[in-house]
Amino acid sequence: MNLDLSTLLLVLGAQLVGLAAALPLLMGWRHISAAARCAQGSVLLQMAGWLALIGSGEAGAQEPLVASLGIAGLTAGQAQLWEAMRHWLGQRPGRLLVWTLAVAGPLGYGLGYSHYAWRVGWSNTALALQMLCVVLALVWPAPAASRRWRGLMALCLVALATTTLARGVLGGFYTEAYPNFRTPHPVAQAWALVSILSLTLMAVCLLVAWREEAERALAQQARTDPLTGLLNRRALQDAAEPLLAQAQRHREPLALLLIDLDHFKQVNDRLGHDGGDQALQLLATLLQQHLRRGDLAARWGGEEFCLLLPHTDAAAAQALDLRLRQALAAQAPAVLGQALAFSSGLTLCAPGDPGLPALLRRADQALYAAKAAGRNRLVLADPS
């Protein structure tokens, strides 16, 4: 079968134009995540770069500049693809290299444009190395992300990097067999076919990654209080039972602290509901700053918060309560324009506790006692 390379190159360009238009239509383009924006930017830059390369032959005296801008679009597109992986998967290795190549690729191409073997070898090698950087980002551990789309995209990029590098070697060392961009050499034809197939599959992978991100965001919203960013009641209840079971099995200390802002109705009356929301957010921020990894904090309802503190005895819980109390007293006047305090009830997990309700009942009784005793204090519940 005779494969016309010029036709394949035009198909590749048309495919990039279609993908650059389709991704914003499917993902949206205003209220999207940083990862989705980088993915769309990657396709858009690669489309612009490819069209510039195809059209550079018609640019006359400006051909070196237009072709160099085309390479810049392609390398910047790969760098943006790496950034999309970083946003979706977490911190990845290779960022410095991928951005260095994004600059060095078109710079070296433009400076050596008069030397065909150099510019073909250099640009294709730079692009292949960038693709391998994205592969590394994909295969680097990311427990929260599906291996399926990551694996498929990595395979596509490995195939694309291999044929791109082969094309660079062909143009750099066997120039007589590949004297120009449109020479129908089998390596160039293979590269074009792999590019067309890989772009299609990678676009599917990007859409799956975007959907996975949206599903995670919805799951997080279902577990999070929208005002404070803390866990909601249901999320803490779900997480509590395994922690309680572990504490009882290994005879480890575990504390539960209920916190209730004092005179919160007066705060709302004086500052309005926005001021009341600010008070809740201030306490939530302090909780996030002072809790350890593994501690759980939830907005329990209204102005009440619940803390579940594994590996924490009474002394450590009381020390945490004091730090929170002092931080709130120091920051509330500046943030709210008035003092703010809280009452708290503390209880410890006992060997015979049947579950979370027993701890909550004791902590609530201790909180009631703190309110009755004058507020702005902690009361430790009787373990019985």
Residues annotated as catalytic (active site), given as ranges: 303
Please state the separation of Cα 198 from the chain's center in Å.
24
* Rounded CA separation 151/38 (Å): 20
Return the number of other C-beta atoms located less than 10 Å from residue 333's C-beta: 11
Residues in the chain: 384
* Rounded CA separation 103/86 (Å): 19
DSSP 1-15: ----HHHHHHHHHHH
**Strands 254-261 and 342-348, sheet pairing:** antiparallel
Please state the separation of Cα 371 from the chain's center in Å.
42
Cα-only R_g, the chain: 30
Q: Is 309 helix (H, G, I), strand (E, B) or coil?
A: strand
Helix (H) / strand (E) containing 161: helix 147-173
Give 292's contacts (C-beta < 8 A, 6+ positions apart): none
Strands (DSSP E) contained in the chain are: 254-261, 296-301, 304-310, 342-348, 378-380
Estimate the share of the chain in helix, then strand, then coil, as percent rounded to the nearest 5: 70, 10, 20
CA distance readout (Å), 222 to 213, 232, 324: 14, 8, 27
* Rounded CA separation 258/276 (Å): 19
